[in-house]
Structure 1
Amino acid sequence: MLKRRGLMACLALPGLLAGCRGEPAPTTPVAEAASRAEGLEGAPDPTFEALLPAAAGDDPLAPLGGALRALQGGAQGRALVLMLGDSHIAFPRLAERLREHLQGRFGAIGPGRMPPGRAQRGFLPAGLTLEQEGEWSTAHALRAANPGPFGLSGYRLAGSREGDRIGLRSIDPRGFDRLHLVLQCGPDSGSFRVLNTGIPDLPRATRTARPTTRIIRLDLAPGSREVALELVGDGQVELLGWGVDRRGNGVLVESFGINGATLATLDNRDPAILARELAVAPPALIILEYGTNEATDRDFDAAAYGLALSRRIATLRAASPRSGILLMGVPDAGRPVRRGRGACPVTPLPALQAVRATQRRVAASERVGFFDWSAEVTQDPCRLPRLVQANPPLMRPDLVHFTADGYRLTADRLHAHLLRGAGLGPAGA
């Protein structure tokens, strides 16, 4: 995909070949879309706000349930489920399966936002091909010492060499028609071009008088199947996130995870940037999935963890007061033990039970939802080897991470939990 712009324009989008053959290209809708997109800053998206209550209230699943019922009844708007977590979320299969369920019933509008380019190593979303060409530097928010800033995605991608590009292609025949960019800008920032047949490929400057974050939505040609960003070479361009979707009514499920992350990793994201991104596209539900890495801590302090979890919930509520919040309880995980050392072939992670008990207690006291991953899928640490040997296998041999099928099963159970809690379906929905 990352070849000459002329080839991309002529070969990438078969439905728009007329413009490449020298015939007059359709001007009105594309030109108007491009004109609207120029300089469009991140004001709150009214299509998300339209389906949300004035305040979340005491029922954590009510905002999502209300939005889904409205969509089912033909209302105009969009509902977002936002997932933040560790390696369980960094591997995209759980979120993709949940998206498949919700979009199949309430409206499919594309994949949504994701880490920029290939900043997240090993991130291979289904249905999308991500490409990156040139000299780019990456950083992530796993540790407080890593230089920021970081936004919602927890990743940053920076480049400055002329002609270097990032791009994506979709196999979805419906394509996409909007591009989302989160850019960190300043006095030395450079310019880029958007390569898509619905967008003029003129340089777009990111230079600002003072350091600031720009959140931009660009209208693309309807049914686009690929898009790329090309650097002009007049300064550094820093991306904190990007994504694609389709205009219209439906559901988005977006997920941002970092391998090795703990709840404390959320504090490494810039609170002002995080608040802006949540305000631009307010979620109907925010799902927090942390705990596996905390469970490895032999000196785990349950009281301190509970206070940190309550504080993080309060911060998210302040930034997104119309959103519900749900905690995913830590799943069972452990280490295999030698034969002959008891009936259970697994040593659970040392703080596993304490982490889960604290999550459950905080969920009750803070009136947020709780999904018991252990009860729904793993059931008991001693059962983990059977999940490894299942057909198909549901657990990896490390007894910590799931296979793609295990994450899909988790998403199936989570989907049923959400619909049941929202009054939209039985346990097996």
Structure 2
Amino acid sequence: MDFLKARSTGLTLVLTVALALGLSLAPVPEALSPIPSLRRAGPVGPKLTALVLPASLTGKRPARPPSDTMVADAPGAPALPPEEEDEAPDAGAALADAPALPAVPTKPGIGLEELSAPTLARALELESLRERMGAQHVDIELNCRKAGADGACLEDGLAPFTRALAELRADTRRTPVRVVHLGDSLIASDYITDTVRDRLQERFGAGGKGFLFITRPASAGRWTRSGRGSDGWVIERLVDTKWPRDRVGWTGVAFSSSGGSQSTRYDVEGSRVAELFFLAQPASGSVALSVDGKTLQRVQTRGFSKTKSEAAFARVNLPEGAKTLSLTTSGKVELHGVSLETGAPGVVYDTVGLLGGMAEVYLRAQPAAFRAQLRQRKPSMVVLMVGGNEAFFYSRDRTTLDEVRQQMKDLVARVRANVPDAACLVMSPIDAGVRTMSGEAIPRRGSKEVGDIFREEARAGGCAFWDAYTAMGGEGSALRWLDEGLMLEDLVHPRAKGSDLLGHLLDLALQRAFAKSHAPLVPVSDTPGLQGADAALVKTFSRMSRREAGEALRLGISQLGASHTASHYFTDAVREVLAKRFGDAGRGFIAAGKPSQRLDAARVARELEGDWTVEDALEAPAGGLWGLTGVRAVGAPGAKLRIQFCKGCPDAKTPSGRLDLYTLDMPGAAAPDITVDGEPMPPDAPLPEPLAAPTVRVRSFPVSGPAHTVQVAAPANGGVTVLGASLEHDTPGVVLDALGLPGATAFNLRDMDAAAVDTQLTSRRPDLLVFWYGTNEANKADLDAAELRRDYTALIGRLRKATNAECLLVGPTDRLAQDANGRWSEAPALAPVLNTLPQVAKDAGCAYWSARAAMGGERSMLRWQRTQPALGHPDGVHLTPEGYARLAGAFVRDFLAAYEAHKKGQPTARVEDN
């Protein structure tokens, strides 16, 4: 029976479309043509064939229909391509001719602040595209939602939303900030809104996926905002000719099992709370909820009334680590959707896009259900994004502007009345086009007129307003977007990249609105990107370029710092990328010390046998003799220390190399027993003069092959002090030393014996010194910023003079401290450190890169802690291995982008005075 019904519907659709196409080609006025021409110019035959014949006959999949109204008027028609990206040009095609991107934003204040480095890189691409397309940054018109007796505005239209975001940022809110975004087909596949959601969650924390349909409400489109349901669901939508009256609220779609068992499945990784939206009705059945195949709960959907049906909800907690949630019905059941949340503070952004959606369509919702569903979500903001279909109907003389005005007035009033404490934002329709009978594409009338009405009704109703039409570029922008591959052939729907651009513009408008209402928690200028590289890294970039051209040379990089460096996670990720591009010249320096799992990934192992004391410079008096990491391992007689490089690596024919051993030799002490790969090393050659004081000694041993083990044994009649070892190959490429001491500051490195440090660092032959201090300085309530600037600059100058190396400073990550109530705030000296280090870089002639800005700026640590998987450590100071890897990726991307710009002779950003 279902097959016959589907076949009948398909034949009807073919005849309907054929008739519409025939009328479109007939010599009638454009306003009476049901479907505009399908190409900018030229023959339309192939497009007509593609529309009339099924994809199975043409070998092509169906295109998105030329307007939202076709979906509403022709149920069963393919609504959206399954994956729009597949139809769009290659991902980089639209930007192929774009000018080179700046290393940092060139227009402060447009809303690019607080984006992590990967997101910022994508945002800069979209900025380049925006400039080329003539799209505009348009501020949200805040309007007034609450006025005083004297007429003065007490609260603007976005205030509840921006206030809630500020509470998230200040860590005073323990519930999610929810947004309910209602719209038409422009967001039915979650384009536009996915960009906004991702960025809001990045800036303020992710609260979960939000509301999702039971299964796709249309026969095509992305699955991102729905479960994957079985085939037997009966689907009724507000946009249908016979919509589900008196049952459905703003969710807009009813999914019924009609007595048979149906199911759907969701990916719930990271979610801890699920809420089922359903219709409670007489004689209704039940829904079994299962997590990872195990039954969790059964929800009875029967209502208390024997005659009345009403919207209802069931909330369940999901076990930690849950991966999938399955719903299975029993009996007659009607479901509306499921919301998924993390249970933690953050942004939850619900998207409900109805194909053919209009203000009038959402007004079809049963008022009580609309109210119940909206109040259940407790939104901080409701977004109304319709107008495209209103403009289409108006352009065809099938509605009037008065009707459009009344419908939007009523929808705004319904939203305000149902959730009076929520902000509301009304958006104008975007520009669209039509085609003349000759095939010429021209702007479609109606978009601006409808947008003007929406602006007036938003102001009158106390809602904010965003002019998407002007942001897109105004009249004719749809034609320009079509030419650039940003618009589908229907001249109504943007492709994925065009939708990304619209989402980018809306997000930045929201960020500017938030910035106007929110004072920074710490007053700093924390600029993203690599600054000052074109002047500070000339020799480094030259060596990289020569190496890439085939010259056999070594690029030495030594990174000095605290625990971020000592963990090795960051430097391992950076080394891997650079070595793949420029060659691998060896592991470099490994400090003496205890066994550490942090070295496992790099196949490095340390072992201590016997009586050893591992000392560090943190609590020692100034001036001590230490290894490059501020550590020394002191062994009693007979004690043995082993450092193994490339543990478990297969034997391979590699060029020769050298293994260096760093020790602290004592006057009159016997030489240690040293073996390399099990072979005793020959005795040391006599020194020209006996040692008069403890002295750093670097012994070099020739080796070949990738894997080597050096063992140091203290003589029976004395001890030994080992500082570390290094391995390099006689191959061109990169050597990157990780020289970090947990808890260290730049003052600790300053206070170590200068000659010992300079000697060891010079032996490492660095071309580039990377300094990553500041995170621990930020925790010093009594920090003297002037002393930090003076002494850190002098330290860098001394080490540069000793090594003749260039330099790059890395600023601190975001550092937070937690009080007794569990509330987070900035480390006491974070602001002065962030303001001082760029000046140190400028004074010392170094490039500068802000790790905090790359994380996303203000309170980014809090958000990194709450992501899935977590990127920030619970201590508010360190990152997880995944977090260090992500930060390293951001650093390498900016470093190589500056290198590429330098090769092309393009300036990078300079370090600015604060």
1:284 has 2:763 as partner:
no
**Structure-2 residue corresponding to 1:249:** 732
Q: Does the 8 A contact of 1:192 with 1:205 survive in 2? A: no
* Alignment CA distance shift 1:63-1:232 (3 Å): same
Q: Which shows bigger deviation, 137-146 or 414-423?
A: 137-146
* Alignment CA distance shift 1:224-1:299 (3 Å): closer
**Structure-1 residue corresponding to 2:661:** 181
Q: In structure 1, give the amino acid aligned to 2:691.
A: A
CA drift of 1:263 comes to 0.9
Give 1:65's match in structure 2, choosing from 541, 544, 551. Answer: 541
Counterpart CA distance in 2 for 1:402 and 1:210 is 45
Q: In structure 2, give the amino acid aligned to 1:62.
A: V
**Structure-2 residue corresponding to 1:325:** 807
Q: Does the 8 A contact of 2:568 with 2:738 survive in 1? A: yes
Counterpart CA distance in 2 for 1:294 and 1:275 is 23
Q: How does 1:259-408 map to 2 (within 5 A)?
A: 259-321=742-804, 323-336=805-818, 346-381=824-859, 383-408=860-885
Q: In the TM superposition, what whole-angstrom CA distance separates every residue of 1:64-113 from its partner, at most 9, and x where no partner exists?
A: 21121121112122111111111111111001111101111111122111
More relative contact order, 1 or 2 (CA 8 Å, 6+ apart): 1
Q: Does the 8 A contact of 1:177 with 1:223 survive in 2? A: no
Q: In the TM superposition, what whole-angstrom CA distance separates every residue of 1:149-168 from its partner, at most 9, and x where no partner exists?
A: 11322111122423634232
Q: Does the 8 A contact of 2:623 with 2:753 survive in 1? A: no
Identity of aligned residues (%): 27
**Structure-1 residue corresponding to 2:599:** 124
Counterpart CA distance in 2 for 1:223 and 1:369 is 34
**Structure-1 residue corresponding to 2:886:** 409
Counterpart CA distance in 2 for 1:385 and 1:393 is 10
Structure 1: gaps of 5 or more residues: 1-56
| Residue correspondences, number | 363
* Alignment CA distance shift 1:206-1:181 (3 Å): farther
CA drift of 1:130 comes to 1.5
Q: Which shows bigger deviation, 298-307 or 74-83?
A: 298-307
RMSD between aligned residues: 2.8
* SS of residue matched to 1:191: coil
CA drift of 1:196 comes to 3.3
**Structure-1 residue corresponding to 2:692:** 210
* Alignment CA distance shift 1:221-1:407 (3 Å): same
**Structure-2 residue corresponding to 1:107:** 583
* SS of residue matched to 2:660: strand
Q: In structure 2, give the amino acid aligned to 1:413.
A: A
Q: How does 1:40-55 map to 2 (within 5 A)?
A: none
Q: Does the 8 A contact of 1:172 with 1:225 survive in 2? A: no
* Alignment CA distance shift 1:167-1:114 (3 Å): closer
Q: Does the 8 A contact of 1:331 with 1:378 survive in 2? A: no
Q: In structure 1, give the amino acid aligned to 2:844.
A: E
CA drift of 1:333 comes to 1.2
Q: In the TM superposition, what whole-angstrom CA distance separates every residue of 1:384-406 from its partner, at most 9, and x where no partner exists?
A: 33211212210011111100011
Counterpart CA distance in 1 for 2:608 and 2:832 is 42
Q: In structure 2, give the amino acid aligned to 1:224.
A: A
Give 1:93's match in structure 2, choosing from 544, 556, 569. Answer: 569
**Structure-2 residue corresponding to 1:33:** none
Q: In structure 2, give the amino acid aligned to 1:379.
A: G
Q: In structure 1, give the amino acid aligned to 2:667.
A: P
CA drift of 1:172 comes to 3.3
* Alignment CA distance shift 1:354-1:242 (3 Å): same
Bigger CA radius of gyration: 2
TM-score by length of 2: 0.37
Structure 2: gaps of 5 or more residues: 1-532, 905-914
Give 1:190's match in structure 2, choosing from 661, 665, 670. Answer: 670
* Alignment CA distance shift 1:380-1:291 (3 Å): same
Counterpart CA distance in 2 for 1:139 and 1:204 is 26
* SS of residue matched to 2:770: strand
**Structure-2 residue corresponding to 1:162:** 638
1:423 has 2:879 as partner:
no
Q: In the TM superposition, what whole-angstrom CA distance separates every residue of 1:340-363 from its partner, at most 9, and x where no partner exists?
A: x9xxx5311111111111111222
Q: In structure 1, give the amino acid aligned to 2:635.
A: G
Counterpart CA distance in 1 for 2:843 and 2:710 is 46
**Structure-2 residue corresponding to 1:230:** 713
Counterpart CA distance in 2 for 1:289 and 1:201 is 37
Counterpart CA distance in 2 for 1:308 and 1:200 is 44
Counterpart CA distance in 1 for 2:638 and 2:879 is 41
Counterpart CA distance in 2 for 1:289 and 1:413 is 15
* SS of residue matched to 2:870: coil
Q: In structure 1, give the amino acid aligned to 2:618.
A: L
Q: Does the 8 A contact of 2:811 with 2:851 survive in 1? A: yes
Give 2:648's match in structure 1, choosing from 171, 186, 202. Answer: 171
Q: In structure 2, give the amino acid aligned to 1:241.
A: G
Q: Does the 8 A contact of 1:387 with 1:394 survive in 2? A: yes
**Structure-2 residue corresponding to 1:12:** none
CA drift of 1:115 comes to 0.8
